[in-house]
Structure 1
Amino acid sequence: MDYIPLLNDIENQNIAPLYLLYGTEAYFITNIIEKITANTLAEEERDFNHSVYDMREVPVETALEEGETLPFFGAGRVVVLKNCYFLTGSKEKEKVDHNLSYLEEYIDNPPQETVMIFTAPYEKLDERKKIVKKLKKQGVFLQASSFDEKNMDEWIDRFCQTRDVSITSGAKEKMMQLAGKDMLMLSSEMDKLNLYAGEQRQITEEMVEELVPRNLEDNVFELVDHVVHGRAEHAFRIYYDLMKQNEEPIKILTLLARQFRMILHVSQLKKTGYSRQKMASRLKVHPYAVKVAEEQSRTYTEPKLKEVLQRLAEADERIKTGKMDKYLQLELSIAGLAA
């Protein structure tokens, strides 16, 4: 099940006795656990009826016995099993013996008053394992992977709707660019913007520009976008801001080359029929970065992109061999690319 439909089910009190949450996007796993707990247990019940077990340290049967115990002073119980590495193909040395036969029996007949949540913060499970097949069939499962553009757009809309605040299209686009690579950061920054919106109840692009922090890669990402579209003045404004922050020109030049290399790769992969999600997985970048690179690739032919990369490599060589001052060379490179 996808994250947002699962969230809707939980908030509508459609809560199952078994959940399997796996993948590398920790925010989704943590958030789903919090939502299940909030919709299953009252605040005063959590000390007695909420348990967390780390499968690297505790045998699975200990958690299952807890799940089979009637709730104490309440109608429900939540048991979380962290780091269920036995669901993967990992060959790591096991420090704990797990009774997986007992686990299979539990999955076949789970107590309805207990919500048992299995978490596996790994990219893949071993789909060949009987226990994985059984857990997926009997329970509700979520693969917690990075959002694509559509899902991120829906998440931001849902966030705003639940807090009675609107967001402009420009602000949403900028949020995806600056914080979309990290859902924990996106959630935190949206909370901050929601508070800042105050009585006007609208998040604008200006607010995002003012409040959301940028790292070096974000600034270079935007610098490249200005260069691609020939906006030299805007590109140099970012460059001078980076110089005030004492950023190293060679590092900026390297990031410029990396961004143009990604534009080239996206252009090539698109021709072979790759989707944005597949390109993101192949290039190990966020889907939003692929979307922007795809749009930027329309400005260049492949030979032109290869020429740009060659020019940047030559600029790097001139700096490292002392033939050109690093600051002057970076300025000349930006000017030449934006021309």
Structure 2
Amino acid sequence: MAKSGVKFKDTVAEYERLRGEISQRKFLPVYLFMGEEAYFIDSLGDLLASTVLNEAERTFNQIVVYGRDSEAGQVINLCRQMPMMGSYQVVIVKEAQQLKGIEKLSLYTSKPSPTTILVICHKEKSVDKRSQLYKSILAQGAVLESVRPRDYEIAGWLTQFIASKGCTIDSKALAMLTDHLGTDIAKISNELDKLLIGLPEGTTRITDLHIEQNIGISKDFNNFELCKAVVTKNAERALQIADHFARNPKDNPLLVTILALFGQFREIFRINYLRWLSRHKGVPFPQDRELMGILKMNNPYALGELKQTSALWDNRKVFNILGLLREYDAKSKGMNSGGASDGELLRELLLKIFLQ
């Protein structure tokens, strides 16, 4: 199957559109929520489950089936039933990627009942877009293709998500969250829900201290602080953090640390290259707004710090450091590591960086 052309920003835009329509009770006869990122699939599925029918109607007119325990013919028969009370019945198929004969659903989705709302939650992968099932749902209802964000996209989404909850988040707290939780939006949203519940009443600004207290990530010993120490050439502080990581390897995976460092030096390299173009080729150095777009950043304060620290590094050395990080990325995966522990590899890597 051809690779999907849908990007994370497309998923977010379509999710917000559908969420708005459902909240306004503008329903379609069939919905297909599909793809690798479970958060958007579960969120829209849960919204339909709680919005279409009231609590009393759900008892008689809302049916949830699981793909592994059913087959397409049974789902079609359910969808063709009349609601016992009210205007609609809702049929929700969870884990639809396991549904036997799922393609046969096209016999129903090509001409869905006006009194049934069918919700298909198809995780882990997408339905073949060349299939009659996909085409019929696209024609009669709505499709959300839920793709996972890239590492540089998660911070922007997370900032907006927190803003939707009436809060803001400091840049350090944001970095601590993304470094620790990666790009798993479902996991991030669960942790954030717990954090927001635990915040003191009236708190609208999330800080590194809140992250430490509620999620258990140290505000002093984390990848944000390590990267800051390295790019400002504070070897003593960087090695102190590395020692902490070595004592707590499960909480501080070497691969995540290397990715964080690689991201920092990659951006330093790009800024320094733009400076070189400006000095030697007469190309205007980008204004901050344009530069944030180039670097895919959304925090002016973080951009200011990055511009300051990049001036401390010569790009020939940065190029060598990026090579070192690629080498130690392989070692973190067990290639030519010589049996060294993650803590030993990190310390060795940092010493080589500071010797550049």
Q: Which residue of 1 aligns with 2:131?
A: 129
Q: Which residue of 2 aligns with 1:242?
A: 245
CA deviation digits over 1:20-39, x for unaligned, max 9? Answer: 10001112111111111111
CA deviation digits over 1:140-181, x for unaligned, max 9? Answer: 1111112434433322222x13xxx45445544543443352
Q: CA RMSD in A?
A: 4.4
Counterpart CA distance in 2 for 1:185 and 1:317 is: 30
Deviation of 1:241 (Å): 2.4
Instruction: Please give the secondary structure, in 1, of the residue aligned with 2:114.
Output: coil
Q: How does 1:1-339 map to 2 (within 5 A)?
A: 2-85=14-97, 96-97=100-101, 100=104, 103-147=105-149, 148-149=153-154, 150-158=156-164, 160-161=165-166, 165-168=167-170, 170-179=172-181, 181-205=183-207, 206-214=209-217, 219=222, 223-224=226-227, 226-245=229-248, 252=254, 300=315, 301-307=318-324, 309=326, 320=338, 330-338=346-354
Q: Which residue of 2 aligns with 1:275?
A: none
Counterpart CA distance in 1 for 2:336 and 2:100 is: 56
CA contact (8 A) 1:223 1:238 kept: yes
Which range moves more in the overlay, 15-24 or 309-318?
Answer: 309-318
> TM-score, normalised to structure 2's length?
0.66
CA deviation digits over 1:60-99, x for unaligned, max 9? Answer: 121122122222344322111234449xxxxxxxx94567
CA deviation digits over 1:169-204, x for unaligned, max 9? Answer: 554454344335222222222222222222222232
CA contact (8 A) 2:36 2:125 kept: yes
Instruction: Please give the secondary structure, in 1, of the residue aligned with 2:87.
Output: coil
2:347 counterpart letter in structure 1: E
Question: Percent identity at matched positions?
Answer: 20
Counterpart CA distance in 1 for 2:130 and 2:138 is: 12
Q: Which residue of 2 aligns with 1:283?
A: none
Unaligned runs of at least 5 residues, structure 1: 87-94, 272-286
1:68 counterpart letter in structure 2: R
CA contact (8 A) 1:48 1:72 kept: yes
Deviation of 1:302 (Å): 2.9
CA contact (8 A) 2:29 2:117 kept: yes
> TM-score, normalised to structure 1's length?
0.69
**Higher relative contact order, chain-length normalized (CA < 8 Å, sep 6+):** 1
1:242 counterpart letter in structure 2: F
Aligned length: 299
